[in-house]
Amino acid sequence: MISTDDDILTTAEAWAKAGKGVAVATVVETWGSAPRPIGSHLVIDEGGTFLGSVSGGCVEGEVVTEALDVIGSGKAKLLEFGVADETAWRAGLSCGGRIAVYVEKVG
């Protein structure tokens, strides 16, 4: 079951208030067949715990890894995944589309 955006953003706020390092990943663009719509969120804490989805499971592992880097550095990243991208195939996005995911630190 995919949590609602309210659940995901409320969780991000709660984790940040608890003193955890937190990042939010958001689908900002899609092309072709995309597993999740624009505006879909994934929240990640510094320990790698996450809630939500940006790809229905296809690339979440890669996004979590990048989010941990964003939490550490404080520098936002724009990630792109698609079938023509070797990283996306490794991460599992083979639905025929492409997605862009913006990852930013909370707080």
Q: Is the pLDDT at 61 greater than 60, yes or no?
A: yes
Phi, psi of 2 (to 5 degrees): -95, 130
What does the pLDDT look like over 91-107, one tens digit per residue? 555 566 789 999 999 98
Which has the minimum average pLDDT: 9-23, 34-48, 74-88?
A: 74-88
pLDDT for 83 equals: 64
Q: Is the pLDDT at 82 greater than 70, yes or no?
A: yes
- Enumerate the domain spans of the chain: 5-106
Percent of the chain whose pLDDT exceeds 70 = 83
pLDDT for 96 equals: 67
Segment 15-32 shows an average pLDDT of 95
Nearest CA-CA partner of 3 in 40, 30, 45: 40
Residues 6+ apart with CB under 8 A from 28: 38, 78, 100, 101, 102
Cite the DSSP H helix spans in 1-107: 5-17, 60-73, 86-91
* Coarse DSSP helix, strand, coil percentages of the chain, rounded to the nearest 5 percent: 30, 30, 40
